[in-house]
Amino acid sequence: MTAFSYQLYSSRNFPPLDATLNMLAALGYAQVEGYDGVYGDPEALKAALDGAGLAMPSGHFGLDMLENETARALAVARTVGMTAIYCPHIAADRRPADAAGWRAFGERLARAGRPYRDAGFAFGWHNHDFEFARLPDGSVPMAHLLDAAPGIGWEADIAWIVRGGGDPLAWIGRYRDRITGVHVKDIAPADTAADEDGWADLGHGTMPWPQIWAGIRTTPATVFVLEHDNPSDDARFARRSLAAARKL
């Protein structure tokens, strides 16, 4: 059976963390994915994970931390037992505006990821929607980023590809061998779920997940993460999404 992780960012508005971890364990999760907001005390985080019987095989780390606090990022990853590190975002005011800029950004990511790869971790980029917005020349940032950094992986957030106007199956086919992780999430029907930013629990939205899953299974991905960017009820999301994921 595929082991599905839970992105803890989904529960950032529902503290405390210990309660979230125990809730996830009770629902049947075995893994979670970390993000910057939970790394303040790595030893305490590891103890909390152990107490709930959960593993954290992957985590998101901001670019500033990856580039400027390498020792700290490595310590966090090692302490909690990660095997994969993903850079998840770049602020709007720091994003390149043309193809050359995105190629340079890909090269920057490759440099940022080198110490982590040298230390034995998988390293990659996690997308949102902006990487799929066409540039003035008609090209797409995601292609420039990945092509300029052939040594890094991709944690493909499938729903964000759709929101960015991309065809997820086409992107999976194009970069199949680069996909080391996947975010498995859903989009609510148009003009619904405004209080949840238009996202839905897995299996309760519009994404054709059975077809997408067939494509994902052709990749080398080993990390499969359930996420909702703004659930009004994280326990409901966690419960219903895990049940839907297990049917894929």
Bridge pairing between strands 122-126 and 84-87: parallel
What is the domain range of residue 76? Answer: 4-245
3-class DSSP assignment, residue 31: strand
Percentage of the chain modeled with pLDDT above 70: 100
Q: Taking residues 45-69, report their average pLDDT.
A: 98
How many whole angstroms from its chain centre is CA 176? Answer: 16
Task: Write out the two tokens for 42.
Answer: 């790595």
Residue 1, pLDDT score: 57
DSSP string, 78-91: HHHT-SEEEE----
pLDDT in tens, 190-244: 999 999 999 999 999 999 999 999 999 999 999 999 999 999 999 999 999 999 9
pLDDT in tens, 155-190: 999 999 999 999 999 999 999 999 999 999 999 999
Residue 2, pLDDT score: 83
Residue 33, pLDDT score: 98
Residue 215, pLDDT score: 97
pLDDT at 40 over 90: yes
pLDDT in tens, 15-26: 999 999 999 999
Task: Give exposure, 67-96, as e/b (b: 16+ Cβ within 10 Å).
Answer: beeeeebbebbebbebebbbbbebeeeeeb
Question: For residue 11, what pLDDT band results from cuts at 50, 70 and 90?
Answer: very high
Distance CA 98, CA 244 (A): 39
Residue 230, pLDDT score: 98
Mean of all residue pLDDT scores within the chain: 97
Q: Give 42's Cβ-side CA count (13 Å radius).
A: 14
Tell me how many domains the chain contains.
1
Q: Taking residues 53-64, report their average pLDDT.
A: 98
Distance CA 81, CA 187 (A): 31
The CATH number that applies at residue 137 is: 3.20.20.150
Residue 189, pLDDT score: 97
Q: Taking residues 111-134, report their average pLDDT.
A: 98
